[in-house]
Amino acid sequence: MPELPEVETVRRGLAPALVGATIERVELRRPDLRFPFPERFAARLQGRRVLDLRRRAKYLLVDLDDGHSLIMHLGMSGSFRIDEETPGAFHHKRDKNAAHDHVVLHLDHGRRVVYNDPRRFGYMLLIATHAIDEDKLFRGLGVEPLDGALDAAFLARAFRRRAASSAG
């Protein structure tokens, strides 16, 4: 399973192709991944401009110009390609077998973002951007380790009133 650093690397690799682009067409090559796609998923993405691409924990969040965010999770074996290039460095080699290309985003600048997932444990959802923090997937997540909130003061507060036995 891709871990947080790999997901952040994927985000950084996808951002130049996605941010500012308009999704002209979405190919869903199957009706589901781990879960069924949301109702009218492809139609709701078509014509949307990508405002930002963020990461929260192991989720990729694509903020769209209609007030919704495309939530993407790689699951155990998911990966993205921009045309034929794989953004991100993975410990285990990523599959490029076209039989496992389940979602293709055709962008207005002529590039394609392809989601490949041999085991289909990944998923994609659409959530109102303003409601992400209250969504069941996100509301229990802890502090984001890469945004600066995880500092000495945070750790001191977190460990205050904690007892630990001394080893020795």
User: How does DSSP assign the chain, residue by residue?
Assistant: ---HHHHHHHHHHHHHHHTT-BEEEEEESSSBSSSBPPTTHHHHHTTPBEEEEEEETTEEEEEETTSEEEEEE-TTT-EEEETTB--S--SSPPP--GGGEEEEEEETTS-EEEEE-SS---EEEEEEGGGGGGSTTTTT----TTTT-SSHHHHHHHHTT-------
Annotated catalytic, 134? Answer: no
Annotated catalytic, 39? Answer: no
β-bridge partners, 79: 116
Tokens of 38: 């949301």
> 3, 27, 85, 134: which one is catalytic?
3
The catalytic residues are 2-3
